[in-house]
Amino acid sequence: MTTSNISWGGRSAVWGRIAGRELSTVAITFFGLLLVTFLIARVIPIDPVLAVVGDNAKADVYDAARAALGLDKPLWQQFATYVGKVFTGDLGKSVLTSNLVTDDIKRVFPATLELATLGTLIGVALGVPLGVLAAVYQGRWPDQLARLIGLFGYSVPVFWFGLMGLLLFYAKLGWVAGPGRISVAYQDFVDPITGVLVIDAALQGEWEAFRDAWSHLILPAAVLGLLSVAYISRMARSFMITELQQQYVIAARVKGMSEFRVIWRHALRNAFVPLITVIALSYAQLLEGSVLTETIFAWPGLGRYITNSLLNADMNAVLGGTLVVGAVFIGVNLLSDILGRLVDPRTR
């Protein structure tokens, strides 16, 4: 009775310490993110006051506008205002769309999520088995294949790869639909529920629209997926090599367990713990990779929103988008840490 109480108390204290450490790390990193976006906004050579009042404004008009924008205050005070605004969800107004940046991002984010999620699923579905086979058949052809795909994934520019995919699978073979998220004909068939088009279409039973959206989605997702296959398979291989040398693998073999079961049920299960972090990181990287991919595929997501705003010098939108991508990065990292701890009893 008492012992179990002590151990429970000890355990929750450990969890509390871990949570505290994680949270402080996240807080500091997020603070750094805010500081960097704020400082970027400060170094812009364009004077934000002149953008409001025009080049020929009198000195008093200029000063009034400057005060209205809060630019006469000391830098740390401006930063405090900025932080306060971010926490209330105010990222300013986009000059290009004349919407609030927050609203714009809410609108475009599901499209990016859709792309990155399917890309990661493809990456896991191909990358993990490939990495496992490469570890089992070290030095033989599956290993060479994994190495080749890895080298390719680290060497090919994603935007060029996307273009080549369009050229081959859309223009020459006609297997998939072209750029965009859904054909104009189906555009109004699907009401936004989750914002993820294929899910919305399926929920509403619009199967024609679903197939159309799917054939738009699969190529950019596959392009992103191949990049994550490179990373995931490489890491899966190295984790599996470590696991296959462990004594429990020998014990399982000695007991007469089938090689299939040893590899896929026992070794892979242990290798999966560190792989969770790898998959999470690759998910975050795909969010970033989508910046260029979305441009190629005219995919109306966050990446294209950032680049479009960038080309139109719409700094509020650029920095808002950067902040959101950075925050997602931090969030995914935190989530992978927590998941890793939950799955692996040794880290508790």
Partner 1 sequence: MTTWTDYLTTDSPSSRRQARLGQLYRQWLAFKRNPLAVAGLVIVVALLLIAAFAPLIAPHNPLAQNLDKRLLPPSAVNFFGTDSLGRDIFSRIVYGARVTLVIVLLVVITVGPVGLLIGATSGYLGGWVDRLLMRITDVFLAFPRLVLALAFVAALGPGLENAVIAIAITAWPPYARVARAETLIIRQQDYIAAVRLQGASQWRIVWKHVVPLCLPSLIVRTTLDMAGIILTAAGLGFLGLGAQPPIPEWGAMISAGREQIFDQWWVATFPGLAICVVALGFNLLGDGLRDVMDQR
Q: How far apart are CA 201 and CA 207, in angstroms?
A: 7
Q: Which residue has the tokens 């989605």?
A: 217
Select the span of 8-16, 198-206, 255-263, 325-333 touching partner 1 (CB under 8 A).
Answer: 325-333
Site string for partner 1, 132-171 (x = CB under 8 A): -------------------xx-xxxxxxxx-xx-xx---x
- CB-count exposure of residue 189 (10 Å: 0-12, 13-18, 19+): middle
Counting residues that bind partner 1 (by CB under 8 A) gives 50
Identify which of residues 126 and 330 has a Cβ nearer to partner 1 in the complex. 330
When asked if residue 19 is in the footprint of partner 1 (CB under 8 A), the reply is: no
CA 172 to chain centre: 31
| One of 3, 5, 45, 56 touching partner 1 (CB under 8 A) | 45
- CB-count exposure of residue 285 (10 Å: 0-12, 13-18, 19+): buried
Select the span of 27-35, 99-107, 127-135, 194-202 touching partner 1 (CB under 8 A).
Answer: 27-35
Q: How far apart are CA 180 and CA 94, in angstroms?
A: 23
Side chain identity at 243, as an amino acid letter?
Answer: E
> What is 265-280 written as a DSSP string?
IIIHHHHHHHHHHHHH
| One of 6, 14, 44, 342 touching partner 1 (CB under 8 A) | 44
Q: Mark out the alpha helices in 245-267 (DSSP H runs).
A: 247-254, 259-261
Identify which of residues 61 and 145 has a Cβ nearer to partner 1 in the complex. 145
| One of 143, 315, 316, 336 touching partner 1 (CB under 8 A) | 315
When asked if residue 284 is in the footprint of partner 1 (CB under 8 A), the reply is: yes
| One of 134, 177, 221, 287 touching partner 1 (CB under 8 A) | 287
Q: Mark out the alpha helices in the chain (DSSP H runs).
A: 2-43, 48-53, 59-68, 75-87, 101-136, 141-155, 158-165, 197-203, 207-244, 247-254, 259-261, 268-296, 302-311, 315-343
| One of 295, 301, 316, 336 touching partner 1 (CB under 8 A) | 295
Residues from 234 through 263 that contact partner 1 (CB under 8 A):
none
Contact status, residue 310 vs residue 318, Cβ threshold 8 Å: yes
Instruction: Give min distance, CB of 112 to partner 1, in A.
Output: 12
Q: How far is CA 198 from CA 38, 111, 115, 257, 294, in A?
A: 37, 10, 11, 42, 17
Select the span of 75-83, 203-211, 234-242, 322-330 touching partner 1 (CB under 8 A).
Answer: 322-330
Binding residues for partner 1 (CB under 8 A): 25, 28-29, 32-33, 36-37, 40-41, 43-45, 151-152, 154-161, 163-164, 166-167, 171, 284-285, 287-288, 291-292, 295-296, 306-307, 310-311, 313, 315, 318-319, 321-322, 325-326, 329-330, 333
